[in-house]
Chain A
Amino acid sequence: MNTLKLIKYQLRDVLRSKWVFLYFLFFLVATDALFRFGGDGERVILSMMNIILLIIPLVSIMLGTMYLYNAREYIELMLSQPVKRSQLFIALFAALVLPMSTAVLLGVGLPFVWQGAIFTHAGSVLFLIFMGISLTVIFSSIAFFIALMTEDRIRGLGLSIVLWLFFAVVYDGLILLFIYFYSHYPLQQPVLILSMLNPLDLGRIALLIRFDASALMGFTGAVFQNFFGSTRGLLIVFAVMLTWMATPLLLGFRRFVMRDF
């Protein structure tokens, strides 16, 4: 009960600040603009994929960290009320992730509806939005974990940026380096496993396969197509994404329950 009450007021606070609305507007304008610049459904989905894979992790991790740092005194006050720590944690997380996920859902979804492309590409659009929401949850959990582990705001925010850079840029560089050095060996399996360890790469590959763009990736693409195209592969993708959501969230939860405020 308390959890729902806390969510209600916290949600009201989040929705009144303008950033969630701006975030929603950004997706709405970007998606609609891509349609207007002459893209058909397929091409808009691929372009939006690139935008989503870049923007959502960045915004989620930065906003999430700042959000929790800003709530610091509020957390202290609420914990001096008859409120359980677990209730407050769930409320804080829900009040951040619900509006951000809704912004992705509506911001990307609505233009597809009014441009009529939703009917021909329903599966792909839903898969794209699913990936967007998963990344929101994953990077918000990581943000919570960082903000709960690091007392210093500046260091926490710095760590968030570095982590995003690592997942978005550095990691791919490392994989390329790995491929370059071991190019005499059959690398399909190791690369497959390595890309599972980064939610961004996993999202990108799963989406590309889904959109039949795997031909662009040559022989490796064929291996990936074999794996991700099968039901078993898809289930593994879901399982890995779920693990990525649950692990930082549970670590953050444990920290929240144990730590001093």
Chain B
Amino acid sequence: MILIQNLNKSFGKLRVLQDLNLDIHNGKVTAILGPNGAGKTTLIKCLLGLVKPDSGSLKVNETSINGNAEYRHQIGYMPQIARYPDNLTVQEIIEMVKDIRGNPDETDEELYHAFGLESELLKKFKTLSGGNRQKVSAVLAFLFRPSVVFLDEPTAGLDPVSSSCLKDKIKREKDGGKTIILTSHIMSEIQELADKIVYIMDGDIQFEMTTSELLEATGEATLERAIARKMKGIAA
């Protein structure tokens, strides 16, 4: 459960988020969409505590985010570009994050096996390909069974097999009652995964509907067309 109230953030003169209100419910996949530079990543970074909002309140599972770090035990995050220390091996990186999370017993290694990362364990991070870096980052996002997972363009750079592994994982976690927030530019992927679409433009929410509602309301077959039509309607 995520509650965002009157969220404001400016970078200098640029107002990135303007008085944004949003509720995100448990057990759903929520897709945050919008044109480039609309404030999607900034919104996610506010929820992670990476970006400090100018005003407004943010709550994740009833805990206010006010510079405390403990609530992040409940959060998994897969960024657009992940970079860990270059000279550490994959094994050491996983070990490090486990160590910081207090070495919980019940880790979720499903993705790790699905991706076949065993063969990469002893390679240094700097020698990994872009796709394998994404895999490490995805594994870490789900490893500690967080109740909220943020995925920023999760399938970018993944091969089709790994990409569908990840999508299956997302569906399973949703059915298990996890809250999943994702951004992507691949509309077919959103159509496949998301229960709810939140469309952001100019720092505010333009519309917020379930995927099926959106398709019905616009009478289009694909999400890409539906959003294009919807945005035309708003502009007019």
Contacts and interface: CB of A to CB of B under 8 A. Distances in A.
Interface stretch (B49-57, B106-114, B215-223): B49-57
Interface stretch (A40-48, A81-89, A133-141, A174-182): A81-89
Interface in A241-261: 258-261
Given A77-B82, A79-B50, A83-B100, A12 B73 contact: no
A71 B87 CA distance: 12
Interface string A55-68: 00000000000000
Interface residues of B, number: 30
A82 to B, nearest CB: 4
A147 to B, nearest CB: 16
Interface residues of A, number: 29
Main secondary structure of the interface of A (DSSP, over half): helix
B79 A77 contact: yes
Nearest to B44: A80
Contact of A83 (B69, B77, B79, B92): B69
A258 B49 CA distance: 11
A73 B79 contact: yes
A76 interface: yes
Interface in B33-61: 45, 48-52
A70 B137 CA distance: 18
Interface in A1-44: 2, 5-6, 9-10, 12-14, 16-17
Contact of A261 (B51, B97, B100, B101): B51
B45 A260 contact: yes
A16 B92 CA distance: 13
B153 to A, nearest CB: 14
Interface in B192-236: none
A70 B87 CA distance: 12
Contacts of B71: 82
Nearest to A6: B100
Contact of B85 (A9, A80, A84, A85): A9
A261 B81 CA distance: 13
B70 interface: yes
B82 A73 contact: yes
Given A12-B88, A82-B100, A84-B69, A74 B83 contact: yes
A243 B45 CA distance: 35
Given A82-B69, A260-B11, A261-B45, 11 more contacts: A2-B100, A5-B100, A6-B100, A72-B83, A73-B79, A77-B83, A79-B49, A80-B72, A81-B100, A259-B52, A260-B51
Interface of B: 11, 45, 48-52, 69-73, 75, 77, 79, 81-88, 92, 96-97, 99-101, 137
